[in-house]
Structure 1
């Protein structure tokens, strides 16, 4: 268009911003918005809403506040969808006070406006306030909560570890006659996995099939694989995974690898990992945490070494703390304490309590008081709660006949 000397206008830029946002190219959205304003093109309410949504997703407080200034400067506060975007932006940043202020100034308040504030409180961990707003919305305005409203409250409770409460709200949602969408279903399935509520998970699986949000939706499918695996029903997990053959993504593969791993089936976990690579799916750091953890549970030392080396030298992934913790635990459980402590000392970051704790626990298993003393001293130096570590070291000394040290 520019080569034909046609100057892009606000509609052109808004379309381009929206296209990048839909494709998940958030940094591209911000760069385009800067270029648009630098060229002197006045933003439209639609373009500002798009950019605010991106700022919320990225947690870009500075960028979002700058956009808010543009909204005020250009007198666009009267557009309800712009105000809704601002409420969501401040809400996702955890600034409930600013979100509430904008909400109070918005008239008329639509379902989207209420949902923005409810989601804001849920995301900020204010789950009780989010639920009270849901009730207030229906009582004072007659606006019925939809699946987005219920999902926000259910997700907020689940994120706070209030799994039972989130399942109770889901029951209320069903009684209210609101059909669960894929986000709600995935959230509730994750809650079922946390408390191993297999019966409720199966019930929800049937619900998603009747509502046509089940096997064909990757989000729900992945949640089902994870739920069945964490509940110990690996046959169901694998059946679900196989049904997703045309819809698998990286999360699907990682969920199945992790599922086998946590149930002690190391060979099956490695088999799925190799199947993923053969299918042309590049593993990420999470994939290697899952497969190394599987090796740790199964005691596959040589496989663990090989995969750790492959992660670094073939896939170019820099090891995380979790990768090191898996390897240290794997080597330590196998009695290879010298190799484990050598690995700890070559880590590019400061080992945390989980790494030293894994090593200390291995020392207890193999009654190695020498390595145990160093591991314990590092844990004590971290100045964290160390009662468990003290007990471990005390028991190690006792098993080695060092009674005075054990008492100390």
Structure 2
């Protein structure tokens, strides 16, 4: 192959105006004006002609662009001639790999695979770099068929010892769901590094095999921050926040420093558990290490503080954000809604609109929740209509569920029922469950029986629905029906979820179950409760035994109601935290009417803020009042 400049074919009729312009410029100007302009082999030949005529060096041609322009045309060999002349010290595979890399990471990775086959047609022998670029394209496309071919090429060319390529091949098989093959390759690899192990762990987590992932994690000879973060995030995603926090503690013991992804995962676990102390420590760590500008971390901090009952801290994080996304605004709206501050949630939405941030479906879930928790019926209707009319957002089943909840809570049970029947999609258990829950509040047995008929078909093993119906019957004095529901549960082996509450003291989470007497401080807790009870009675408190839906003696009902898990957690908190500090309790079920009344009184007696997160929302008790305004 000739490398003299004159050996390249020059177009017969180049653009004369362009030639005149080029002659009056230096080669540097030529480089700027023309080298970026050619987009076809014909235009490339014109630029080449000007290079020859101006005695500019051929090396000023952008070789990757030359390759991309000629790759899928009959001028492929022409590009090879240019490469040979310019890159005498480097093989042409160097340039072709640049082309493959650009295509693999671009908008059309399939072109990288097509170029690979084109290279094979022109007897260009792939090296490890070419193989890695094409494997990257296969990975981006999840193209296992071509990936298998590349795997064969790697084996045939003797690249088995290349750890980078082997890791990519394992990653490809695993990402395409072929975990058995990935595991086989993993086991047969002559050497592995931490990346190899991380790939397998991450993919097992994606497949939902958290036990398998942890087994591999346990056997790792070396772990880096990514290893720990993958496992922590995996536990959070599958609802195992306790395990995530426990693993994070081990990570700290091992001396591994968090990165920004770890911070997000641990904060999410703190939000699930209500682990405020750890969440605040991670917040401080984040600020110290320059993560304050990370929007995702700030968004997760808002969520964490909201779910831990520290709404003011969430607001502070929101106000200090230099950049806010729709997620930031939506998190703040949803948080205010959960805490019963509907007016502020609507004001935040107004501010959001003024700065030009378009809401999404999550934003409207927060707005509808705000309206539901405060009984803002007309506002809720307007927001629901506005979704499609003003923003083109098609309501999903979650939005319909919010509307049913809004109407039901307000006592508009017939309208809520009609709304359900007219939904464009099939109602799920959450929708019918919202109606059932309101039937208990408004003591509507007939509508409850209609709701339960659908719920038994949709979710027959959900104990909550049976319990609510049983309670509705009990409140109506229909004890035979109550017994029938409980027998039905027993026959179907549906067990009632026990009520539990947790409180964190000095970084340790303490859990209490309703009626529990096994806690080491039980005797002191009961004694302190009796002291509180005396003060409450002086202020007019009478135990609301109607919440005890069992056909037992009144004295037993009083004892039963005094053993509710949130009361035990509250007394424990009062005994073990400094005077004046807030008490924060997490509860798995809805707070009962008696506990709600008692907590209002106790907040005034002990002069403390008491925050309870139940299944539906937050109740912030202060000075004999609650943030829900007794509407829950």
Is the Cα contact below 8 Å between 2:144 and 2:176 reproduced in 1? no
CA distance in 1, matches of 2:391, 2:114: 36
- 1:7 maps to what in 2? 70
Offset from partner CA, 1:218-276 (integer Å, 9 cap, x none): 121111111111111111111111111x3222222222122112212112222222222
Indicate yes or no: 2:432 matched with 1:356. Answer: yes
1:211 positional shift: 2.0
Name which of structure 1's ranges 166-175 and 318-327 shifts more when overlaid on structure 2: 166-175
Shift of 1:40: 3.5
In the alignment, the residues of structure 2 paired with residue 35 and residue 314 of structure 1 have an alpha-carbon distance, to the nearest angstrom, of: 45
Give the alignment of 1:119-138 within 5 angstroms. Answer: 119-138=202-221
Partner of 1:368: 444
Alignment correspondent of 1:187: 265
Deviations 1:49-68 (A, max 9, x none): 4334434xxxxxxx432232
C-alpha deviation, 1:397, in angstroms: 5.0
Which deviates the most, 352-361 or 42-51?
42-51
Q: Which ranges of structure 2 fall in alignment gaps of 5 or more residues?
A: 1-37, 45-68, 72-95, 121-125, 485-632
Query: What is the distance in 2 between the residues matched to 1:15 and 1:218?
Result: 29
CA distance in 1, matches of 2:346, 2:165: 49
Closer, same or farther: CA 147–360 of 1 in aligned 2, 3 Å: same
Residues 376 and 389, structure 1, Cα contact 8 Å, conserved in 2: yes
Which shifted more, 265-274 or 219-228? 265-274
Number of aligned residue pairs: give it: 385
Match of 1:163 in 2: 241
Name the structure with the higher helix share: 1
Matching residue within 221, 246, 252 for 1:174: 252
Residue deviations 1:337-361 (CA, integer Å, cap 9, x gap): 2221221112111101110111122
Instruction: Return 278-287 or 233-242, whichever deviates more.
Output: 278-287
Change over 3 Å in CA distance of 1:88–1:249 after alignment to 2: farther
Match of 1:152 among 225, 230, 234: 230
The offset of 1:328, in angstroms, is 0.1
Map residues 9-408 of structure 1 onto 2, 5 A cutoff.
11-18=98-105, 20=106, 28-30=107-109, 32=111, 40=118, 44-55=130-141, 63-75=142-154, 78=160, 79-92=162-175, 95-138=178-221, 144-213=222-291, 215-244=292-321, 246-382=322-458, 384-385=460-461, 387-396=463-472
The higher radius of gyration belongs to: 2
C-alpha displacement of 1:199? 0.6
Q: Give the Å deviation of 1:294.
A: 2.1
CA contact (8 A) 1:121 1:130 kept: yes
Contact 1:121 1:129 in 2 (8 A): yes
Contact kept in structure 1, 2:279 and 2:304, CA below 8 Å: yes
CA contact (8 A) 1:46 1:82 kept: yes
CA-CA distance at 1:369 after TM superposition? 3.4
**Pairwise CA distance, 1:333:** 0.5
In the TM superposition, what is the alpha-carbon distance from 1:296 to its structure 2 partner? Answer: 1.6
Distance 1:161 1:321 in 2: 23
Query: Deviation at 1:195?
Result: 0.9
Choose between structure 1 and 2: higher strand proportion.
Answer: 2
State the TM-score, normalized to the length of structure 1.
0.85
With 3-12 and 268-277 compared, the bigger mean Cα shift is at 3-12
Whether the 8 Å contact between 1:13 and 1:36 is mirrored in structure 2 is yes
8 Å contact from structure 1 (residues 90, 96) kept in 2: yes
* Residues 157 and 165 in structure 1, CA contact (< 8 A), matched pair in contact too: yes
Q: 1:29 to 1:182 in 2, by over 3 A?
A: farther
Q: Hey, what's the Cα distance between the residues in 2 that align with 1:319 and 1:406?
A: 37
Question: What TM-score do you get using the length of structure 2 for normalisation?
Answer: 0.56
Q: Distance in 1 between matches of 2:110 and 2:243?
A: 42
Shifted more, 40-49 versus 362-371: the winner is: 40-49
Other structure's SS at 2:411 match? coil
Moved more, 94-103 or 169-178: 94-103
CA distance in 1, matches of 2:310, 2:211: 34
Q: Report deviation, 1:118.
A: 2.2
Q: Distance in 2 between matches of 1:380 and 1:128?
A: 33
Counterpart-to-counterpart distance in 1, 2:377 and 2:178: 48
CA-atom RMSD in angstroms: 2.7
Query: Structure 1 regions of 5+ residues with no counterpart?
Result: 21-27, 56-62, 139-143
More divergent stretch after superposition (292-301 vs 72-81):
72-81
Q: Deviations over 1:290-334 (max 9, x none)?
A: 221222222221111111111121111111111111110111100
The C-alpha deviation readout for 1:87-128, integer Å capped at 9, x for no partner, is 334445554322211212333312211211222233334444
Structure 1 residue 398 displacement after superposition: 5.7
